[in-house]
Amino acid sequence: MTALHKNLIDGEWVGADGVENINPSNIDEVVGVYARASVEQTKQAIAAAKAAFPAWSRSGILERHAILSKTSQEILARKQELGELLSREEGKTLPEGIGEVTRAAQIFDFFAGEVLRLAGEALPSVRPGVSVEITREPLGVIGIITPWNFPIAIPAWKIAPALAYGNSVVIKPADLVPGSTWAIVDILVRAGLPKGVLNLVMGKGSVVGQTMLESPDIAGISFTGSVSTGKRVAAASIEHGRKFQLEMGGKNPTVVLDDADLKVAVESVAQSAFFSTGQRCTASSRVIVTEGIHDAFVDALCERTRNLRVGHALEKDTEIGPVVDPNQLKQDMDYIAIGRDEGAELRVGGNRVNAETEGYFLQPALFTGANNQMRIAREEIFGPVAAVIKVKDYEEALAVANDTDFGLSAGIVTTSLKHATHFKRNSEAGMVMVNVPTAGVDFHVPFGGRKGSSYGPREQGRYAAEFFTIVKTAYISAG
Ligand code: UN1
Q: Is the CB of 441 under 6 A from ligand 1?
A: yes
Cα–Cα distance for residue pair 332/336, rounded to 1 Å? 6
For residue 234, the Cα-to-chain-centroid distance in whole angstroms is: 18
For residue 214, the Cα-to-chain-centroid distance in whole angstroms is: 24
Q: Which CA distances in Å does 453 have to 193, 367, 373?
A: 33, 24, 19
Residue 471 placed within a domain: yes
Judge if 416 and 270 occupy the same domain. Answer: yes
Q: Which CA distances in Å does 202 have to 277, 360, 365, 468?
A: 25, 24, 34, 22
Closest listed residue to residue 188, CA positions, set 213, 218, 152: 152
Q: Which residues contact 231 (CB under 8 A, 6 or more apart)?
A: none
Judge if 267 and 217 occupy the same domain. Answer: no
Pocket test for ligand 1, best of 441, 455, 459 (most atoms within 8 A of CB): 441
Cα–Cα distance for residue pair 456/328, rounded to 1 Å? 28
Judge if 357 and 241 occupy the same domain. Answer: no
Residue 341 placed within a domain: yes
Residue 12 placed within a domain: yes
Residue 266, phi then psi, degrees to nearest 5 = -65, -45
Q: Which residues contact 272 (CB under 8 A, 6 or more apart)?
A: 252, 254, 282, 283, 284, 411, 437, 438, 439
Each of the 479 residues of the chain gets a pLDDT tens digit; together they read 578 999 999 999 999 999 999 999 999 999 999 999 999 999 999 999 999 999 999 999 999 999 999 999 999 999 999 999 999 999 999 999 999 999 999 999 999 999 999 999 999 999 999 999 999 999 999 999 999 999 999 999 999 999 999 999 999 999 999 999 999 999 999 999 999 999 999 999 999 999 999 999 999 999 999 999 999 999 999 999 999 999 999 999 999 999 999 999 999 999 999 999 999 999 999 999 999 999 999 999 999 999 999 999 999 999 999 999 999 999 999 999 999 999 999 999 999 999 999 999 999 999 999 999 999 999 999 999 999 999 999 999 999 999 999 999 999 999 999 999 999 999 999 999 999 999 999 999 999 999 999 999 999 999 999 999 999 999 999 88
Judge if 106 and 187 occupy the same domain. Answer: yes
Judge if 39 and 72 occupy the same domain. Answer: yes
DSSP state of 458: P
Angle at 469 between CA 465 and CA 470, to 5 degrees: 130
Contact (Cβ atoms closer than 8 angstroms) between residue 363 and residue 353 = yes
Residue 444 placed within a domain: no
Cα–Cα distance for residue pair 62/183, rounded to 1 Å? 24
Catalytic residues: 247, 281
Judge if 239 and 277 occupy the same domain. Answer: no
Judge if 186 and 305 occupy the same domain. Answer: no
pTM of the entire structure?
0.97
Closest listed residue to residue 160, CA positions, set 217, 200, 102, 105: 105
Pocket test for ligand 1, best of 86, 150, 277, 406 (most atoms within 8 A of CB): 150
Cα–Cα distance for residue pair 298/434, rounded to 1 Å? 20
CATH code of residue 382: 3.40.309.10
Residue 205, phi then psi, degrees to nearest 5 = -60, -40
Judge if 132 and 201 occupy the same domain. Answer: yes
Residue 56 placed within a domain: yes
Q: Is the CB of 245 under 6 A from ligand 1?
A: no
Q: Is the CB of 224 under 6 A from ligand 1?
A: yes
**Other CB atoms within 10 Å distance of the CB of residue 439:** 24
Q: Which residues contact 144 (CB under 8 A, 6 or more apart)?
A: 155, 158, 159, 162, 169, 170, 171, 172, 221, 222, 223
Judge if 67 and 158 occupy the same domain. Answer: yes
Q: Is the CB of 414 under 6 A from ligand 1?
A: no
Judge if 341 and 423 occupy the same domain. Answer: yes
Quote the pLDDT of residue 278: 98
End-to-end CA distance of the chain: 70
Contact (Cβ atoms closer than 8 angstroms) between residue 238 and residue 273 = no
**16 Cα to the center of ligand 1, angstroms:** 34
Closest listed residue to residue 297, CA positions, set 338, 255, 327: 255
Closest listed residue to residue 97, CA positions, set 153, 26, 171, 142: 153
Give, for 61, the enclosing helix (H) or strand (E). Answer: helix 61-77
Torsion of CA 332, 296, 404, 361, to 10 degrees: 10
Cα–Cα distance for residue pair 40/374, rounded to 1 Å? 45
Cα–Cα distance for residue pair 370/129, rounded to 1 Å? 68
Judge if 40 and 55 occupy the same domain. Answer: yes
Q: Is the CB of 147 under 6 A from ligand 1?
A: yes
Residue 292: exposure state from Cβ atoms within 10 A (0-12, 13-18, ≥19) = middle
Cα–Cα distance for residue pair 470/134, rounded to 1 Å? 10
Q: Is the CB of 460 under 6 A from ligand 1?
A: no
Residue 447 placed within a domain: no
Judge if 143 and 243 occupy the same domain. Answer: yes
What order do you get walking across the sheet with 121-124 strand by strand? Answer: 121-124, 130-138, 469-477
Residue 40 placed within a domain: yes
Quote the pLDDT of residue 388: 98
Give the residue numbers spanning the domain of 361.
252-434
Contact (Cβ atoms closer than 8 angstroms) between residue 458 and residue 429 = no
Q: Which residues contact 304 (CB under 8 A, 6 or more apart)?
A: 266, 267, 270
**181 Cα to the center of ligand 1, angstroms:** 16
Closest listed residue to residue 157, CA positions, set 217, 201, 223: 223
Total tally of structural domains belonging to the chain: 2
**447 Cα to the center of ligand 1, angstroms:** 9
Residue 92 placed within a domain: yes
Pocket test for ligand 1, best of 86, 144, 149 (most atoms within 8 A of CB): 149
**197 Cα to the center of ligand 1, angstroms:** 26
Contact (Cβ atoms closer than 8 angstroms) between residue 454 and residue 462 = no
**153 Cα to the center of ligand 1, angstroms:** 9
Quote the pLDDT of residue 478: 87
CATH code of residue 119: 3.40.605.10
